[in-house]
Amino acid sequence: MPRNRRKKRQDPPGPAGFLVVDKPVGWTSHDVVDAARRWLGVRRIGHLGTLDPLATGVLPLAVRQATKLVPFLAEGLKVYVGTIHLGVATDTFDAEGEVVRRHDGPLPDEAAVREALEAFVGDIEQIPPMYSSVKKDGVPLYRLARKGEEVEREPRPVTIHEISMPHYAPPEIGIEVVSGPGTYVRTLAADLGDRLGCGAHLSSLRRTRSGAFTLDQARTPEAFERLADAGELEAALQPADEPLGLPRVRLTPIQAQKMRHGTSIPAADARGDFEKGDPPRPGDRLAAMLPSGELLAILEFRPDRRFHPIRLLEPS
């Protein structure tokens, strides 16, 4: 006889949306997700972009059906402020690692550091650190690193849009970085140290922006805990469509029913924000909204002048 399989526990019904957590130092991104699952009593929660335990700041969480929107939000710019310690290199490229090299000579002057930083602006390649969640043959690199193993890693293309150095107080320098997704700021710190010839590591980091999510939207875990205890946490969810920033199409009940079955609708029969501006062009994306105001789908305008659903949600 086949074994009885335990049924997966269903999440209670509720709205889809986003929580923006101000991650504390020492917490992993998974720690934040686990805490949010306790606050909401919901398993279907995912984060948008890992932050190292050393780092603090903006960590957006997608709740319930909003997890389907993560691929549409992953390409946004990231903004970081941090501190790099010159003259000391570590195996993790940050302050949590073991020291592997100390520089005994004089540290580079401010002009040399600024010139070196400018070399990293633009499209560059980074080799992921061994202490990272990047996988090699299905195994996270950090697991191999904890065993004392080091394996070859392929360089990855990343884009750094801006780097500034607000203060220079050796051995510490302050940096602000605006980058595309996938950038390791601690790898940037280590590469800077190599370029300068003195070694360096990242001593602190705070993310102030992740795509559409900013620090002024973020709350601490303690604040979310209080909202949960008061039964007010779901009301604090950022609606699923807001960070997308897409023009809205307001569906009629009949159109919504068709879209639930994957049927496209003629643009001529639709009403929404797109009527107020330039007409949509093929490839443009829009947010399909139910009469209740909830997001139902992400649409794409096609050459046949119809709105086609490319990602369907099913609000509660």
Catalytic residues: 52
Residue with tokens 């948008």: 48
Residue 60 pairs in a beta bridge with 20
Contact 242, 135 (CB under 8 A): no
The three-state secondary structure class of 130 is coil
Q: How far is CA 292 from CA 15, 296, 310, in A?
A: 12, 10, 21
Contacts of 8 (CB under 8 A, 6+ apart): none
CA distance linking residue 2 with residue 123, whole number of Å: 54
Question: Comparing C-alpha atoms, which of 23, 7, 39 is closest to residue 235?
Answer: 39
d(CA 4, CA 204): 50
Q: Measured between alpha carbons, how far is 307 from 296 in angstroms, rounded to an integer?
A: 13
Q: Which of 61, 5, 22, 70 is nearest to 38 (CA)?
A: 61
| Beta-bridge mates of residue 45 | 63
CA distance 179 to 182: 9
Q: What is the distance in angstroms between the CA of the first residue and the CA of the last residue of the chain? A: 37
Angle at 176 between CA 142 and CA 242, to 5 degrees: 85
What is the rounded (10 degree) CA torsion for 41, 46, 51, 53?
A: 40
